[in-house]
Amino acid sequence: MSRILLVASESAPFIKTGGLGEVIGSLPKALKAQGEQVAVMIPDYIQIPEEYREKMTLIQELVTPLGWRQQYVGLKKLVHEGITYYFVDNEQYFKRDWLYGQYDDGERFVFFCRAALTALPYLDEFPDVIHCHDWQTAVIPLFLQSFYQDVEGYQDIKTVFTIHNLKFQGVFPRVVGTDLMNLPEDRLNNEGLEFYGKLNFMKAGIVYCDALTTVSPTYAEEIKTPFYGENLHGLIQKYEDKLSGILNGIDPPEKLVKTKAEYRNQLQERLGLPFNSKCPIISMIGRFTAQKGMDLIMRVIDEILLLDVQMVMLGGGEAMYEWMLREVLWHNPSKLRVHTTYEQDLADLIYSASDIYLMPSLYEPCGIGQMIAMQHGAAPVARETGGLKDTVAAYDPETGAGNGFLFSNFNAHELLYTVQNAVSLYYDDPAAWARVVKQAEAADFSWADSAGRYKALYEQLRG
């Protein structure tokens, strides 16, 4: 048994903007089931709903160094579904209109990381392992090695750093390292945080962690290459001995109570689409960004809509895609719906009603939508990359094996042909289609196996 502290910038159900928040929301329970003692620490954002906020208790007030300054830290605690959560309060940093994209993000997350370490003695359990996630918490291993090597207890702490998305690295001016982090010169050169004349927090995580992981085995290989490496592939190659890929899991699905056709009609009614119990529903839920393959979709969406299908897109993101979709909608009022405010009950209904789920990602560290869709009896059409490659098995017309449809190149017409193939199978060979759906529903995406891998990693680090 190890005492694990997960430190991250978001966690469901308190605050979540994407997959990271979902993983931090579900991984602790899975680790606990493995016998680990787990706690989670996140910033106390003003956006956390009042229902949770009112249950938090302030357990300690302290100050943490930030360069030459001392900054206030309010340490709050809440036990939720058997897991202990800690919230780092400082309104100057976390009472903002949004979690990220503030002018001083570098300072905000340097503060959060330093505060997390300062707060350790006040937690119920002093951790054996600190498990950090993405750039927002990537400087924790660096701080441990730079400032805490002579501090009783802290010397023994091991660190795991998990990359959920290599694209977002937290790159800030050099003054953040000198003025706010107080780092010695040998941490600020190219062996350390230096990155094209600036400082790169993601780099700190990669260099100073004890174990480095990412969220699928395929992505762990891909990020060593220039195409996926986001200018860090050389560094990742250098540290590949401590790198491994551990696939994310998801919580078990709610049982479906109605038939696909009933859900289809329910969705059509809710979104004002023509009633049709037969035509397949193609869906996509997620951020409308280049990562998610929006460029491929926009290139061939008119041709997809020529098929006898209905298409539903839920998400939001770059305005450019929303405007393009609005134009397509104008020409296809009876076949397409685009919903740009995320509503959980609508997402659930879309998954339940869908037959085909699109995920033509440019890159995909793990991907969660395809797993949820499969559990709801929708077959994914996905690009063979990252976690998509590790979770979707391509349908093989010879043997009938497979639980979805894959294409390999980032090419809009490969996407189109793959969608056309899937729709043909749906109409022309209902028995084969039913088998694909059954195999999709049968895939095991539970956390147990992956949580076991994390546990083994923690144990290995502790020797």
Q: How far is the CB of 230 from ligand GLC (least distance, A)?
A: 12
Q: How far is the CB of 400 from ligand GLC (least distance, A)?
A: 29
Closer residue to ligand GLC, CB minimum distance, 38 or 247: 247
Asked if 264 is part of the footprint of ligand GLC (rule: CB under 6 A), the reply reads no
Strand partners, 6: 40, 131
> Which residue's C-beta sits nearest to ligand GLC?
19
Q: What is the dihedral of CA 369, 371, 372, 377, to 10 degrees?
A: 120
Q: How far is the CB of 125 from ligand GLC (least distance, A)?
A: 25
In this structure, are residues 203 and 230 in contact, taking their beta carbons and an 8 Å threshold?
no
Closer residue to ligand GLC, CB minimum distance, 201 or 433: 201
User: Whose CA is closest to 193, among 138, 230, 243?
Assistant: 138
Asked if 365 is part of the footprint of ligand GLC (rule: CB under 6 A), the reply reads yes
* Farthest CA pair distance, the chain: 71
Q: Which of 8, 15, 20, 157 touches ligand GLC (CB under 6 A)?
A: 20
User: What distance in Å separates the CA atoms of residue 429 and residue 400, rounded to the nearest whole number?
Assistant: 11
Asked if 218 is part of the footprint of ligand GLC (rule: CB under 6 A), the reply reads no
Closer residue to ligand GLC, CB minimum distance, 164 or 383: 164
Angle at 274 between CA 271 and CA 279, to 5 degrees: 105
Asked if 163 is part of the footprint of ligand GLC (rule: CB under 6 A), the reply reads no
Q: Which of 19, 43, 74, 286 touches ligand GLC (CB under 6 A)?
A: 19
Taking CB under 6 A as the criterion, which residues in 386-425 touch ligand GLC? 387
Q: How far is the CB of 428 from ligand GLC (least distance, A)?
A: 33
Q: How far is the CB of 26 from ligand GLC (least distance, A)?
A: 10
Q: How far is the CB of 81 from ligand GLC (least distance, A)?
A: 20
Taking CB under 6 A as the criterion, which residues in 168-187 touch ligand GLC? none
Q: How many CA atoms lie within 13 A of 96 on its CB side?
A: 16
- C-alpha distances (whole Å) from 390 to each of 110, 159, 222, 384 are 34, 26, 12, 9
Closer residue to ligand GLC, CB minimum distance, 10 or 210: 10
One-letter amino acid identity for 284? M
Q: Which of 215, 273, 311, 379 touches ligand GLC (CB under 6 A)?
A: 215
Closer residue to ligand GLC, CB minimum distance, 176 or 223: 223
Strands (E), 365-418: 379-383, 405-407
Residue range at the interface with ligand GLC (CB under 6 A); choices 54-62, 149-157, 294-302, 365-373: 365-373
Asked if 248 is part of the footprint of ligand GLC (rule: CB under 6 A), the reply reads yes
For residue 297, which phi and psi values (nearest 5 degrees)?
-60, -45
Q: How far is the CB of 386 from ligand GLC (least distance, A)?
A: 7
Residue range at the interface with ligand GLC (CB under 6 A); choices 15-23, 67-75, 103-111, 139-147: 15-23
Asked if 25 is part of the footprint of ligand GLC (rule: CB under 6 A), the reply reads no
Closer residue to ligand GLC, CB minimum distance, 165 or 283: 165
Residue range at the interface with ligand GLC (CB under 6 A); choices 123-131, 225-233, 251-259, 359-367: 359-367
Q: To which residue do tokens 């003025």 refer?
A: 179
SS (H, E, C) 155-211: HHCEEEEEECCCCCCCEECCHHHHHHCCCCHHHHCCCCCEECCEEEHHHHHHHHCCE
Tokens of 355: 């037959």
91-99 contact pairs (CB < 8 A, 24+): 91/46, 93/43, 94/43, 94/44, 94/45, 94/46, 95/45, 95/46, 96/45, 96/46, 98/47, 99/9, 99/10, 99/15, 99/17, 99/43, 99/45, 99/47
Asked if 107 is part of the footprint of ligand GLC (rule: CB under 6 A), the reply reads no
Strand partners, 78: 85
Residue range at the interface with ligand GLC (CB under 6 A); choices 17-25, 230-238, 297-305, 377-385: 17-25
Q: Which of 36, 89, 107, 364 touches ligand GLC (CB under 6 A)?
A: 364
Asked if 368 is part of the footprint of ligand GLC (rule: CB under 6 A), the reply reads yes
- C-alpha distances (whole Å) from 226 to each of 122, 170, 245, 429 are 43, 19, 18, 41
Asked if 222 is part of the footprint of ligand GLC (rule: CB under 6 A), the reply reads no
Give, rounded to a whole angstrom, the gap between the first and last alpha carbons of the chain.
12
Residue range at the interface with ligand GLC (CB under 6 A); choices 145-153, 204-212, 226-234, 360-368: 360-368
User: What distance in Å separates the CA atoms of residue 379 and residue 186, rounded to the nearest whole number?
Assistant: 51
Q: How far is the CB of 120 from ligand GLC (least distance, A)?
A: 25
Asked if 377 is part of the footprint of ligand GLC (rule: CB under 6 A), the reply reads no
Asked if 164 is part of the footprint of ligand GLC (rule: CB under 6 A), the reply reads yes
Look at residue 354 and give its three-state secondary structure: coil
Q: To which residue do tokens 């010695």 refer?
A: 184
Asked if 23 is part of the footprint of ligand GLC (rule: CB under 6 A), the reply reads yes
For residue 48, which phi and psi values (nearest 5 degrees)?
-65, 130
What is the edge-to-edge ordering of all strands in the sheet holding 310-317? 336-339, 310-317, 281-288, 356-359, 379-383, 405-407
Asked if 18 is part of the footprint of ligand GLC (rule: CB under 6 A), the reply reads yes
Strand partners, 383: 407
User: Interface with ligand GLC by CB under 6 A: which residues?
Assistant: 18-20, 23, 164-165, 215, 248, 364-368, 387
